[in-house]
Structure 1
Amino acid sequence: MPIPEFIVETRKKIGHDPMWLPAVTAVVLRDSTDDSPWAVPEVLLVKRSDNGQWTPITGICDPGEEAHVTAVRETEEETTIKTKPAALLGVGAVGPVVHANGDQASYMSIALRLEVDGDPFQEPAVGDDESVEVGWFSIAHMPVTNPKWRLVIADAAAQRKHPKAFTPRMGFEKRN
């Protein structure tokens, strides 16, 4: 996975010491391609090249870049799908994480729901080396196993269905 240049330059100065970084999680939903009355939305997922896990799109904000701009940029870079921001899902700390190269980081992750900008039934394609597969999946049958990602995707579906009743999550722990 490419490391942003500003991180490469900072790492020259601090080595593997902990860094605090702004990041995004982009959850892209669309209506189901199944026309049954029990159909649920579909979510755009990537199979990460670093760990083989299926997740929503994630990325690090460039210096001075707004979170929603990062989410739209990362989605297009990783899946070739153009999107637009729809809603804030929540904000929370992730980490600390020790990466394979020894770098330590913690992330302030901003989770956003995005919508496809254009034809919602366009097919995604792997757009960079951060993913090995991309695709649309019914949220009822998605290959996501990490509870944190399943929670964020569930929040996106709840916000989409009942936007006025939705409260963005503060932290990524389960709600009581």
Structure 2
Amino acid sequence: MTDLNTPDRAADFAEGMDARTACVTREQACANARRVLDAARMRRDRDRALGRLAPQVEFVLRRLERAQRALPAADGPREEALLLHCAGRWEDGETIRTSLRALERATGFRVEDVREALDHLAATGDIGMSRSNTPPGPVSATSVPASAALVISPDWHRINDRRPRPH
């Protein structure tokens, strides 16, 4: 917030305004916010059209578009929750290190449900899974203890290709 109590700051803030127009009306504030939001959406749409968005961000955008249009999810709720959790951690890199217990807490589903969803996503090729402390190679979620470290590698391009973009 600008401190208008000092003469210099008040003069800078109100430059070109008289006492009646020193306050921004609600309508003007909403119009300014709308203009900034529209410009941000245009930049996002341009970057999306040029393929500049991270695939995880594209996944989240498609999910939001489906929700806005009340379209069904491409996967079941467990799979969708797992993918959304992974997409939310997109800044971690291409792989997500986690455990079944952590996924249980993050998604709200029981460990058994998380195991089934992970195995389904692995069977469709949407994700790859391996144990953190063992030699590399695919692993089934049913063979992983609940607290063991698990590495999930989502294939975001495949995931997005399987989910049609709402129009």
Task: Give yes or no for TM over 0.5.
Answer: no
Instruction: Using structure 1 for the length normalisation, give the TM-score.
Output: 0.27
Which structure's relative contact order is higher, taking Cα pairs within 8 Å and 6+ residues apart?
1
Structure richer in strand, relative to its length:
1
Higher helix share: 2
The higher radius of gyration belongs to: 2
TM score, norm. by length of structure 2: 0.28
